[in-house]
Amino acid sequence: MSSNMQIPKTCQYCGKAFIAKTTVTKCCSSVCAGKAYKANKRREKVQSTIEQDLKSDKVQQPTNSINPNSLALKDYLSVNEASKLIGVSRWTIQRMIKKGQLNAVPFGNKHIVKRSQIESLFI
Ligand SMILES: [Zn+2]
């Protein structure tokens, strides 16, 4: 192995022509190498953030707290969720169920309201 290699190269960072001593050298100086490394890292970070955004668009995050946006995707809502969806108290929903304005199906100790029921109230 020769340690006196002289490979004409172009700096990856500043674009200056230089003579490299190893085949893996990509930059004219350690300053450029450091800057190129940082730029690369930044690009990777941006890229992975974009990929994460794309993923989280497809995969719904499981969450215990009630997010009004995720309620719009659910077809069946608890009384609590239904009240959050239209922004009234759960007592209002329960009153509507008692009056027969909303058709709720009991599941155990919960009442489940079909989202289309709520939507049809506004038609
Ligand atoms: Zn350079």
| CATH number of the domain enclosing 97 | 3.90.105
Q: Per the domain annotation, does 39 fall within a domain?
A: yes
What's the predicted TM-score (pTM) here? 0.42
**Residues of the domain holding 110:** 68-121
Give the CA distances from residue 110 to residues 79, 81, 88, 90, in Å, rounded to whole numbers and listed in that order: 8, 11, 18, 12
Q: Per the domain annotation, does 2 fall within a domain?
A: no
**Total count of domains within the chain:** 2
Same domain? For 51 and 16 the reply is yes
d(CA 120, CA 24): 67
Q: Per the domain annotation, does 81 fall within a domain?
A: yes
d(CA 45, CA 47): 5
Q: In angstroms, what is the span from residue 39 Cα to ligand 1's centroid? A: 13
Residues with CB in 5 Å of ion ligand 1: 11, 13-14, 16, 27-28, 32
Q: Per the domain annotation, does 27 fall within a domain?
A: yes
Q: In angstroms, what is the span from residue 7 Cα to ligand 1's centroid? A: 15
Q: In angstroms, what is the span from residue 46 Cα to ligand 1's centroid? A: 23
Same domain? For 15 and 48 the reply is yes
SS3 call for 116: helix
The token pair at 25 is 């050298």
Per-residue tens of pLDDT for the chain, all 123 residues: 556 789 999 999 999 999 998 989 999 999 999 999 999 999 999 888 888 877 776 655 555 566 666 766 788 999 999 999 889 999 999 999 999 999 999 988 889 999 888 888 887
Q: In angstroms, what is the span from residue 21 Cα to ligand 1's centroid? A: 15
Same domain? For 53 and 92 the reply is no
Residue 82: CB atoms within 10 A of its CB come to: 28
Same domain? For 49 and 79 the reply is no
